[in-house]
Every structure is written in C-alpha cells, then in structure tokens.
Amino acid sequence: MSSWRKGVEKPADEVVEVEVEPIITVEEFEEVQAIMRSRSPQLRAPRFVSGPTLLGGVAFCADCCGAMTLRTSGKGTEYRYYTCCTAARQGPKGCKGRSIPMDELNDLVVNSVVDRLLSPHFLEEALSALLKRRDEAAERETGRIVALKRNALDAEKKLTRLYEAIEAGLADLTDSNLKGRIAELKRIRDSAQADVERAEGRRGERIEITPQALRTFAAAAKDRMRGEDGSFRRNYIQQLMQRAEVGTDEIRIVGSRVRLLQTPVASGRKPGVETAAHGVRSFDLKWLPGPDSNQRPTG
C-alpha cells in the first residue's frame, strides 16, 4: 500500500519535484469552473436548464439574492410576473421583494444585450485582454511542442545508438540494465509523441476571431435575438449571462469574458450563429441509447 493511500508523507529523499508550466491562467481556470458549475444538473434545477422562461435561473433579487421566479395571476396565463421567491415564500419579513412583468424584464435584458454586449466595438474591447492572454498561451504551447519534439527525437537517437551497439556486438541484449534503459527510452519517446499529438490537436481547433468576424456575429445574433425564436434567445442569454440582479432603479447584468469568447468562437464553426444555441444537453431522461455491458439484469 502506497504512502498516499495511508495518508503518510514520503521521506524528502524519495520525493522528486517536477516543475510543470501551466497551460492556462488561474483566472481562466476559475471562470471555466464557474461555467461548469452553472451548467451542472446536480447544482442547477432542470427547470432552469430546459424550461421555457427566458431568465429562469438567471434573474435574481438585488436585495436578498433570491431567484426571481415566474408567478401568474389568478386567471393563469393573462398576467405573468418575475417575483422574488424569498418575498413570495416568507413575506415582507424575508425580503421587501419586487415583482416585474415578465415581458417587461425580458425586453429590458434583451435590449441591453443587443445594444451593448452585441456591439462590435464592445466585443472587441471586452475580449482584447482575453485574446491577448490566449495568444500568449498559444506561444507557450508552441514552445512546449518544440521541447516535446526535441525530447522524442533525443530518445529516438539514443535508442538508435543502443540498437547499433547491440548489432555490433558491443552491448549484451541479455543485460537487465540494458533492457531497462531501452524500455525507459521507449517510454520517454512514446509519451513525448503522445503529448505532441494532443497539443497539436488543441492548437488545430483554434479559430481566429477577427474584427470582421465579430461584426458578422453581432449582426446575425441581433437579428436572432429580436426574432420570434424564443429557444435561441433563452440559450444565448443563459450561455452568456451569469446573473441579472433586479433592483428598484436598475438591473445589473453580470457576465463572463470566457463565455463571451466562446459564443463567437462556436459560431465560427458554421455559417451564422446556429451553434450558439447548441449547448450541451445537461438533463434528459432515458438518454442511454441501448443496453450495454454494465446493464443489470431485470427480473
């Protein structure tokens, strides 16, 4: 049983520390983790992931931070409001709360997104620092690929020299040390080559975001946001925004630059902005396509 399983630290002379250069920044990692948590069906109710309400799971009360949930009048569908859930459950003691007609809040948020967030100038300005960090990371990745290729080539050369020594009778193939050395060099070579393939695959998926691409994306997204397709607006809003804090005199929209970057990047794979609405399906019953080897017997 290893020391890790026992929870005991190994002696200092048995520890080999290897410095590994980070691939992404801490800020990018934390933002991506926040995105993953926001999409997790274990942390977010399925009704917010797949429900028809535009701002479901996004609108919050600015006073108590409680969710703004949909409420209807006694007649059912004639009047629909976003209401502070804390005030609805606990009354004025929980939160003074507020209610706002659903269509009014939807229009305010959508118009703000269309007029401000989807401005090509704003997109370019907001993404400039993030794109700069991405370019710097790409340069570091290129240097890492060069170093990995060099390691693989060095290991291959050493293997070739060992094979030549064996052919010339200068080395004994039955020597256990020689066998171990050959195995170690093969491991180093194969590991470096595999790392190169993975790194080059990630680099090959990168899409350049130019000012023209931002203008094209912004124009197409504006048309779709103002259209009648509610599913596109809902998916786009929930992908782009983390929360809309509804106060008495203002609505504060909180978003992520990483999400802002992902949207035009995704739309760059196909014409238009269709892919902005193609999120990962996070909740679906009977998703298993058929029986597999892990299926338990029934009956």
Q: Are 59 and 82 in contact (CB under 8 A)?
A: yes
pLDDT(249) > 80: yes
Neighbouring CB atoms inside 10 A of 5's CB total 7
pLDDT reported for residue 150: 92
Q: pLDDT tens digit string along 184-205? A: 999 999 998 988 888 887 765 5
- Residue 254 is which amino acid? V
What number of residues does the chain have?
299
Q: What is the pLDDT of residues 161-181, one digit of tens each?
A: 988 888 888 888 778 888 888
Rounded CA separation 133/131 (Å):
5
Q: Quick one: pLDDT band at residue 154, thresholds 50, 70, 90?
A: very high
Amino acid at 280: V
* Helical (H) or strand (E) element with 241: strand 241-246
With 0-12 CB in 10 A as exposed, 13-18 as middle and 19+ as buried, what is 276?
buried
Q: Cβ atoms within 10 A of the Cβ of 206, count?
A: 12
Taking Cα atoms as reference points, which of 267, 163, 287 lies closest to residue 218?
Answer: 267
**What pLDDT does residue 87 have?**
86
121 pLDDT more than 70: yes
Query: Rounded to the nearest 5°, which phi and psi values hold at 164?
Result: -65, -35
- 14-70 per-position pLDDT tens digit: 777 877 777 777 777 877 777 676 656 555 555 555 556 778 878 889 889 888 888
Residue 136 has phi, psi (to 5 degrees) of -65, -40
Q: Over pLDDT 90: what percentage of the chain?
A: 6
Does the predicted model carry a pTM greater than 0.75?
Answer: no
